Amino acid sequence: MKNQVLFSVLTMVLLLASGAANAQLGSTKELRFNVPFDYHVGKATMKAGNCFIQHAGTQNALLIRGNGSSALTLSGSVSGKAAGEDKLVFNKYGDQYFLAQVWVEGEEVGEQLPRTRIENELISKAQPDSVIILARK
């Protein structure tokens, strides 16, 4: 009898958790940008052109797609002034760009992407320039 009650309670908890996760995924906002240069996200090289970004299942996982390329990366939080528009922030080293942050309009917390090994090597040689791309309207 105890096992049946425990099983029923666990089943109910799992159903509620999966329903909440599904509802969260359904309300995910997709950000759209037109990036005029190739750039790096983790080990992936993304091609210039249209870019679509959304959360992938959890708040700290981002899916980036565009022009036949895609990348899945984890992100941390970065605090700042509320973003006036959806925007991407890139670190630029010479002619190489690395996606560094993703900001959603009105949010005071953005997504900070981890630096890659290649970016860490480049940063040891030169300070990065920041490049900001605003969302397409």
Q: What pLDDT, on a 0 to 100 scale, did the predictor assign at position 137?
A: 52
DSSP tag of 127: P
Do 30 and 53 touch, CB atoms closer than 8 A? yes
Q: How many Cα atoms occupy the beta-carbon half-sphere of 123 within 13 Å?
A: 13
Q: What are the pLDDT digits (tens) for 106-127? A: 999 999 999 999 999 998 887 7
Residues 6+ apart with CB under 8 A from 100: 89, 90, 91, 112, 113, 130
How far apart are the C-alpha atoms of 10 and 4, rounded to whole Å?
10
